[in-house]
Structure 1
Amino acid sequence: MAAFAIAAFAMAGAAEPVRAQGTLRLAMTSSDIPTTTGMPNNGFEGMRFLGYPVFESLVLWDLTTTDRLAPLRPGLAERWEQVAEDPKTWRFHLRRGVTFHDGTPFDADAVIWNLERYFNKESAQFEPPAAGIVRARAPIMTGYRKIDDMTVAITTASPASYFPYMTALILLSSPASFEKAGRDWAKVGTQGSAGTGPFKIASVAPRERVELVRHDGYWDQAKKAKLDKVILQPIPEANARLAALRSGQVDWIEVPPADGIPSLKQAGFAITTGSYPHVWPWFYNIGATNSPFRDVRVRQALNYCVDRDSIVALLNGTAEPAIGWLKASDPDFGKPVNRYRFDPAKGKALLAEAGFTAQKPLSFKVMISTSGSGQMSPLPMNEFMQASLKEACGVEVDFVVTEWQVLLNNMRALPDAPALNGAMSLNISSPSSDPSVMARYFAAAGVPPNGFNFAQWKDDAFEAAFARLAAAVDPKVVAEATAVAHERLVDNPPWLYIVHDLNPRAMSSKVKGFVSPQSWFVDLTLVSMR
């Protein structure tokens, strides 16, 4: 498979004309290009490269610094506020003078049109795949309305101080793109929709490439892109990405194979790493019939059976051990009773208390992907996990191997869904950037299809702490409540926490200006080619 991928990519590269100055060729980990209708699939890698560079949201991220988690900044809304007399309502004041790439105006009507596309099944523009993504990322939205041409109001099911973080994940595209394609989202996908971002889609070749070109009419002249063009290409196999970089067919690869990093450095390629809000776990399927993970002792036991330091070594130091959803150094980590470490004796004792012994070992299936956004090196990492859990604690693990987008879809599956093929766990990397993410993955209200609480986990102490967090506006109260909530995520774990990624990328020395922010996203407007 790897040889075929390299050969196919080489043929595609051979047909490419000589690139102009300022063209960046970038190899993604996905097996296909993200969807180009305005709400890309393929997880946050899709958002990273075919989301924010082309389409924007009312609220954006500041991706220019590395010393702290990426904060929010004004986007297509110049400002917003939580309405004092009705804290379930947020008012967004839109940026004036913005147009989509096709020249049509951005205004309140365009915002409402997009929200109807995601939330109203009866609207002509309803797009089910995009709607599924947005609804899961903003599960607390209950309504929206136009106040005037440049103001919209959005309501939530309950007061939520973190709602602007959810808003940042709702991308907006031109209604005219849908009309131009005969109101056919499939046709929009072949042409690419128009956004408001610093790049616009120039051409789309499914499973091969998407070409983006600089949008010279971008509304923020201070953020105008330096590059003339970005060519995005899906290369899911890690060694194929490595070969493409070495041969000069691409300039930038996501997630270089760990064993190739020393030789890349020696050959003069730049390797960038940096802390960012990311955890690589196994999600427990607590809700499945006869799931062993209904017993908290089993969930805790596996967290003591993982040799995290050896996985970090396997990854050539491009990760760090994870003993919770947040990093242990995070001020909101709290003071949980359990401080997970590699302790097979404790793990086996907990398993024995739950009825699993050498004579009756714990056995289950995990659904994993071959590649994908934030998945690091899923095959060797999961093979190591399989062998290590067997050796350390006698746990027998089998894998259901699938494609990344299929795995993502299954995160919203019901516990006994046939699509899971009996899997009692899913290996899906997760952001840990803000309370809105905590809500989507762990709040009881976020069970599928409303959110990403695949585990069907519910903890009363967590719910109480999170309710306090959601209602608070004082940062001190938010921090205190977050710490209490996180303590429950450790002591009553819905996941097996394995490692935190350090976001490795490999680039040609010709790539200049890249900043590795503490975010899942990047700012391509900063990048240039020498």
Structure 2
Amino acid sequence: MRHPHRTAGLGLAALLAAASPAIAETTLRIAMTAADVPTTTGMPNNGFEGMRFLGYPIFEGLVLWDLSRADRPAVLRPGLAERWEQDPADPKTWIFHLRQGVTFHDGTPLTADAVIWNLDRFFKPDSPQFEPAGAGITRARNPILAGYRKLDEATVAISTSRVASYFPYMAVYILMASPQSWEKAGRDWAKVSTLPAAGTGPFKLGKFSPRVSVELLKNPAYWDQARVPKLDRVLLLPMPEANTRLAALRSGQVDWIEVPPPDAIPSLKQAGFNIVTNSYPHVWPWIFQLGGAATPFKDVRVRQGLNYCVDRKGLVEMLNGTAEPSVGWLKPSDPNFGKPENRYGFDPAKGKALLAAAGYTPQKPLAFKVMISASGSGQMLPLPMNEYMQQNLKEACGVDVTFEVTEWNTLLTAVRQGPDAPILNGATATNPSSPSSDAGVMARYFLQAFVPPNGFNWGQWTDPGFEGAFAALETARDEAGFNTAYAKAHERLVDDPPWLYIVHDLNPRAMSRKVKGFTSAQSWFQDLVPVEMP
């Protein structure tokens, strides 16, 4: 099964020539997995790869990720807000104190009014500046945001629909663009994307060619002078096909590729390229649909059985060690993994027994369709990985799996729809990879309140034990109480699995030895500021 590589008819050499006729000495050229350049209005599409390269480097939030260390999962740090706290009188309200002296790339100041303008852009459909595409992404990542107001010129209050100890982990996904960008474009978001739009980040947008390339330029006037980029320019090139990325790196046409083909890693190392990996909060699953009319996944025995049918170690071997087996949303090494009753391993006998108890036997085999993408943010190598899964489940447990292969953004659109939506074309499971970084992500993927369009609980899973544990987590007043509730919530994700847990990615990248200063953060996002080229 293969999906055509679409580059608007351009060969790789022509694509690079069109993107950049002259490469400066301090230019870093990166081949992304995306099939297109992420959108450039200030809230990029293409999932977290869009945020990685066209989000945080240019457009910042009140809260940011600390991506400076490789030895621990990324934590939060102050961004456009110097500090924040829950209102002592109302724990549903968070107060953000804005950083002073920050300007957008167009020279206009960051003010409380600019923050409110951006919140209206995402959360107020009748505002003149409402941007449907960016709003859909931002609202899905902030499903509990209920209101906001300016307290004074340097302070903004944001209210949530429920008490949420983790709200800063959602606020990190609300990016700020200059209101002047929209005015300059004649109040037309389609034109904003080609201006380019102005953010506040260490890089600013340069030339933009849809489906071809986009460049990021150093922002010498960045508000944190200790974090002015060392590079003059970063050139981003969409290359969804892994072998195309590999050829570009080997020929010297790019300096850095996301997700090299695993079977090429030994030869890349032998040729002097750096292979960079690190554990990070990323799970690559199949998500079960429990709410549809024709789904087989309402029976927990089917979901548990499938989790015992997967030869995860075999898949890791196929990926040349660039992943690790997944037996839950969190990794077993995570202190909040808990002590679930089920510890999934490759046990076909147990898997088949559970399927048989649910009514699926060799005479009546389990059969279903999974919607998958050909590439995309965090998707690793979805075609060969899913072909492996198809063969594994057939041979181990007699399960018949077919695929609906689509483009990454189409898959993202599908998982924001209800069950049996026409876009799914009969699929009752989907394969978008997921962050597993914090309780804020857990909320929007698994709480019953966040079925689409309110969040990412596409499978419409609900579990009373999970709901109760999560309620305790949301109102926890100390770290010990929070962690106890978090572990209990995760135990329910394992024992009443809404997903088929397959692998955790190790975030592989291949780079020229000329690339210096990169730290592989334990995060979906990475810091380009300290990177150097000779």
Asked if 1:60 corresponds to 2:61, the answer is no
1:56-92 Cα deviation digits (max 9, x unpaired): 0000011000111101000000000000110000000
Partner amino acid, structure 1, of 2:15: A
- Give the direction of change, closer, same or farther, for the CA distance of 1:258–1:5 in structure 2 (3 Å limit): farther
CA distance in 2, matches of 1:4, 1:443: 39
Asked if 1:420 corresponds to 2:435, the answer is no
Identity %: 69
Which of 247, 251, 269 is the aligned partner of 1:243?
Answer: 247
Which of 493, 503, 513 is the aligned partner of 1:489?
Answer: 493
Structure 1 contact 59–167 (Cα < 8 Å) conserved: yes
What residue in structure 2 maps to residue 104 of structure 1? 108
State the SS of the aligned residue for 2:529: helix
Partner amino acid, structure 2, of 1:180: K
Q: How does 1:55-204 map to 2 (within 5 A)?
A: 55-204=59-208
Partner amino acid, structure 1, of 2:205: I
Partner amino acid, structure 1, of 2:323: A
Which of 256, 263, 278 is the aligned partner of 1:259?
Answer: 263
Structure 2 contact 8–211 (Cα < 8 Å) conserved: no
1:396-449 Cα deviation digits (max 9, x unpaired): 000000000110111111011111111010001000000000001001111000
What residue in structure 2 maps to residue 18 of structure 1? 22
Asked if 1:295 corresponds to 2:299, the answer is yes
Structure 2 contact 170–440 (Cα < 8 Å) conserved: yes
Which aligned segments of 4 or more residues in structure 1 are displaced greater than 4 angstroms?
1-7
Residue 130 of structure 1, CA deviation: 0.7
Which of 28, 32, 37 is the aligned partner of 2:32?
Answer: 28
Q: Comparing 489-498 with 284-293, which one deviates more in the overlay?
A: 284-293
Residue 106 of structure 1, CA deviation: 0.3
Which of 192, 210, 213 is the aligned partner of 1:209?
Answer: 213
What residue in structure 2 maps to residue 278 of structure 1? 282
Residue 190 of structure 1, CA deviation: 2.1
CA distance in 2, matches of 1:11, 1:464: 57
- Give the direction of change, closer, same or farther, for the CA distance of 1:88–1:3 in structure 2 (3 Å limit): closer
Q: How many residues align?
A: 530
Partner amino acid, structure 2, of 1:312: V
Which of 521, 528, 532 is the aligned partner of 1:528?
Answer: 532
CA distance in 1, matches of 2:337, 2:270: 38
CA distance in 1, matches of 2:347, 2:176: 48
Q: How does 1:403-442 map to 2 (within 5 A)?
A: 403-442=407-446
Structure 2 contact 5–240 (Cα < 8 Å) conserved: no
CA distance in 1, matches of 2:497, 2:194: 43
Structure 2 contact 7–212 (Cα < 8 Å) conserved: no
Residue 7 of structure 1, CA deviation: 6.1
Q: How does 1:340-359 map to 2 (within 5 A)?
A: 340-359=344-363
Structure 1 contact 212–229 (Cα < 8 Å) conserved: yes
CA distance in 2, matches of 1:17, 1:509: 23
State the SS of the aligned residue for 2:134: helix
CA distance in 2, matches of 1:160, 1:21: 47
Q: How does 1:316-335 map to 2 (within 5 A)?
A: 316-335=320-339
Structure 2 contact 108–178 (Cα < 8 Å) conserved: yes
Asked if 1:503 corresponds to 2:514, the answer is no
Residue 32 of structure 1, CA deviation: 0.3
CA distance in 2, matches of 1:266, 1:384: 27
Instruction: Report the RMSD for the aligned CA atoms in angstroms.
Output: 1.1
What residue in structure 2 maps to residue 9 of structure 1? 12
Partner amino acid, structure 2, of 1:430: S
Structure 2 contact 7–211 (Cα < 8 Å) conserved: no
- Give the direction of change, closer, same or farther, for the CA distance of 1:244–1:5 in structure 2 (3 Å limit): farther
CA distance in 2, matches of 1:300, 1:87: 38
Structure 1 contact 5–240 (Cα < 8 Å) conserved: no
CA distance in 2, matches of 1:45, 1:163: 22
Partner amino acid, structure 2, of 1:235: M
- Give the direction of change, closer, same or farther, for the CA distance of 1:188–1:406 in structure 2 (3 Å limit): same
Which of 212, 218, 231 is the aligned partner of 2:222?
Answer: 218
State the SS of the aligned residue for 1:292: coil
Asked if 1:463 corresponds to 2:496, the answer is no
- Give the direction of change, closer, same or farther, for the CA distance of 1:343–1:5 in structure 2 (3 Å limit): farther
What residue in structure 2 maps to residue 314 of structure 1? 318
Q: How does 1:343-422 map to 2 (within 5 A)?
A: 343-422=347-426
CA distance in 2, matches of 1:121, 1:398: 39
Q: Comparing 18-27 with 198-207, which one deviates more in the overlay?
A: 18-27
State the SS of the aligned residue for 1:90: strand
CA distance in 1, matches of 2:38, 2:331: 30
CA distance in 2, matches of 1:4, 1:217: 35
CA distance in 2, matches of 1:332, 1:387: 33
Residue 21 of structure 1, CA deviation: 1.7
Gap regions ≥5 residues in structure 1: none
Structure 1 contact 5–237 (Cα < 8 Å) conserved: no
Residue 19 of structure 1, CA deviation: 1.4
